[in-house]
Amino acid sequence: MTQEELFKSLIAHAKEYGFIFQSSEVYDGLSAVYDYGQLGVELKNNIKKYWWDAMVRLNENIVGIDSAIFMHPKIWEASGHVGAFNDPLIDNKDSKKRYRADVLLEDYIAKLEEKIEKEVEKGKKKFGETFDEAQFRATNPNVLRNRVKADEVTAKMNESLNSGDLEAVRQLIIDCEIACPVSGSRNWTEVRQFNLMFSTQMGSVSEDAGTIYLRPETAQGIFVNFLNVQKTGRMKIPFGIAQIGKAFRNEIVARQFIFRMREFEQMEMQFFVRPGEEISWFEKWKEARLKWHLALGLGESKYRFHNHEKLAHYANAAADIEFEFPFGFKELEGIHSRTDFDLSQHQKFSGKKMQYFDPETNENYVPYVVETSIGLDRTFLAIYSSSYCEEKLENGEDRVVLRLPAFLAPVKLAVLPLVKKDGLPEFARKIMDDLKYDVNCQYDEKDSIGKRYRRQDAIGTPFCITIDHQSLTDNTVTIRYRDSMEQERVPVEDLRKIIEEKVSMRKVLEQI
């Protein structure tokens, strides 16, 4: 199965089992907006808790807030979003389809990279053990030609985007002979800048209505509350403020399921530090955040850092943690050293001081900020996509299993009476009524036990317990493990300990 087919299967699976639905599906859907179903919301809440506890509970100097989505419109002028939160877009005149000009070019570069990798694979097969990859990359004419082209287009694209030369961006698309995937033509319009913020009106139209924006990031809610939290919480620098909340962006190219959405959730933390200490904090947070990801156990090779060479005007260091999604390595989290840009801008635009008095140095200053910003939906997709497995069992049967980290699984325990009679359902209910206070349990008595196991495998339930006639006489049940499918007989009174031990978030938090 190709990665593309696998990705399609997991999207279908997410719908079939109540993880994610297309928004407004009965009205044919709303593009790039999704609803989380009954199991999706459980998984999402567990991810939020893992992030929140790692940030707020484990760090005495980090506190959380929940700021409003609507904010004063001047905030977005101060932050630079009104002026510069743009994507370059281009239309194809024949298909009338709209594209992000930079994405057309990035896809073109990705195809060249793919060709290079295919050539290397061919070389590996041809030369076997004697294959010298470095030499092959440095000498093979096809690899070299595509390498030069990819580097050249990347450099020209970065140069024209950074200088805001939209005509040069268009010319590059034409020079690369990029065609519209729908019409196949190269009949392109000019490239225009398109602001990504959604706007709406506050107040009744007849009165003094003003344009306000749906926040495109949660970070600004933290910046404008910096002094409120610092003073009321008696926080001393260095300290952090964390927040989980919705953000909205009118993405032109919204695709790859929940990877790029128009309404999504961010988990952001702004860490306020002394000027001059920001780079060492930036390095510390890079390391701490990677540890948080690795403790999920999805595999070290799934993650890599991408250090930004070209920095935004307000940053003096920036890196992304990229994850290997089914469509390749892409940004999952950004860690940015944002200097004192945001607080200074709010000081300027609001006319209110954003300074901190440092009792240790007896100085007043605008703190510097190191930000960690991760998409909740992207984290969901990272976990979901790397947990999704289609397996062929030894007996020839197929099974779909979600190998979710046990502590994040939406349902931790399925309680299954072997038959619907002889007192087994009542016995099962008693166990469930006891354990439901500790973990999320699901009771199921419909269909054969094999079918019920499959249903639980498909939603990632780490444990199933089966109650049979022996249970009534010796107070034992069979516990079945999702990943190994092994079963063992255990006393009912041991269940809580066995399950809690395996689904404990504490154990994971202790690793980070």
Q: How far is the CB of 249 from ligand GAP (least distance, A)?
A: 5
- Residue 167 CA to residue 101 CA, distance in Å, equals 11
Is residue 54 left, alpha or beta, with left meaning phi > 0 and alpha meaning psi from -120 to 50? alpha
Q: Residue 129: CB partners within 8 Å, gap ≥ 6? A: none
Question: Does residue 260 bind ligand GAP (CB under 6 A)?
Answer: yes
Instruction: Using CB atoms within 10 Å of the CB of residue 106, give its burial: 0 to 12 exposed, 13 to 18 middle, 19+ buried.
Output: middle
Contact window for ligand GAP (CB under 6 A) among 8-16, 35-43, 326-334, 439-447:
326-334
Q: Is 377 in the site for ligand GAP (CB under 6 A)?
A: yes
Candidates 266, 337, 385, 466; binder of ligand GAP (CB under 6 A) is: 266
- Regarding 264 and contact with ligand GAP (CB under 6 A), the answer is yes
- 217 in contact with ligand GAP (CB under 6 A): yes
Which residue among 373, 385, 442, 456 contacts ligand GAP (CB under 6 A)?
373
| Contact status: 480 vs ligand GAP (CB under 6 A) | no
User: Residue 307 and residue 423: Cα distance in Å, rounded?
Assistant: 62
Is 378 among the residues that bind ligand GAP (CB under 6 A)?
Answer: yes
By CB under 6 A, residue 298 contacts ligand GAP: no
Please state the closest distance from residue 53 (CB atom) to ligand GAP, in A: 20
First-to-last CA distance in the chain? Answer: 35
Residue 342 engages ligand GAP in binding (rule: CB under 6 A): no
Secondary structure percentages of the chain, helix, strand, coil, to 5? 45, 25, 30
Comparison of 56 and 319: residue with beta carbon closer to ligand GAP: 319
Length in residues, the chain: 512
Place of tokens 């990632």: 460
Among 91, 331, 358, 438, binds ligand GAP (CB under 6 A): 331
Which of 261, 402, 404, 424 binds ligand GAP (CB under 6 A)? It is: 261
Beta strand pairing call for 263-273 and 368-375:
antiparallel
Task: By CB under 6 A, tell whether 249 contacts ligand GAP.
Answer: yes
- 75 is a contact residue toward ligand GAP (CB under 6 A): no
Distance of CA 171 to the CA centre of its chain: 34
What are the Cα distances from residue 359, in Å, to 47, 129, 183, 232, 356? Answer: 37, 64, 65, 17, 9
**Which range binds ligand GAP by CB under 6 A, 97-105, 177-185, 349-357, 367-375?**
367-375
Cβ-based nearer residue to ligand GAP, 136 or 329: 329
Which residue lies nearest ligand GAP, judged by its C-beta? 375
The reply on whether position 238 binds ligand GAP by CB under 6 A is: no
Q: How far apart are CA 476 and CA 463, in angstroms?
A: 15
Regarding 219 and contact with ligand GAP (CB under 6 A), the answer is yes
Which residue's CB is nearer to ligand GAP, number 94 or number 331?
A: 331
Q: Which residues make beta-bridge pairs with 34?
A: 22
Judged by CB under 6 A, does residue 324 bind ligand GAP? no
For residue 125, with 0-12 CB atoms within 10 Å meaning exposed, 13-18 middle and 19 or more buried, which class applies? exposed
Query: Taking contact as CB under 6 A, which single stretch among the options 23-31, 161-169, 232-240, 328-336 is the one that binds ligand GAP?
Result: 328-336
Q: Which residues contact 418 (CB under 8 A, 6 or more apart)?
A: 424, 449, 466, 467, 468, 469
Maximum distance among all Cα pairs of the chain, rounded to whole angstroms? 81
Interaction between residue 461 and ligand GAP (CB under 6 A): no
Using the minimum distance from each CB to ligand GAP, give the nearer residue, 146 or 373.
373
Chain-centre distance of CA 370, in angstroms? 19
Closest CB to ligand GAP among residues 95, 250: 250
Cβ atoms within 10 Å of 420's Cβ, excluding its own: 9
Any contact of residue 333 with ligand GAP (CB under 6 A)?
yes
Q: Is there binding between residue 44 and ligand GAP (CB under 6 A)?
A: no
From the CB of 45, what's the least distance to ligand GAP, in Å?
18
Residues 6+ apart with CB under 8 A from 429: 415, 443
The two tokens of residue 450 are 């094999």
Size of the site for ligand GAP (CB under 6 A): 19
The residue (of 31 and 139) whose beta carbon lies closer to ligand GAP is 31
In three-state secondary structure terms, 308 is: coil
- Positions that interact with ligand GAP (CB under 6 A): 217, 219, 249, 251, 260-261, 264, 266, 268, 331-334, 371, 373-375, 377-378
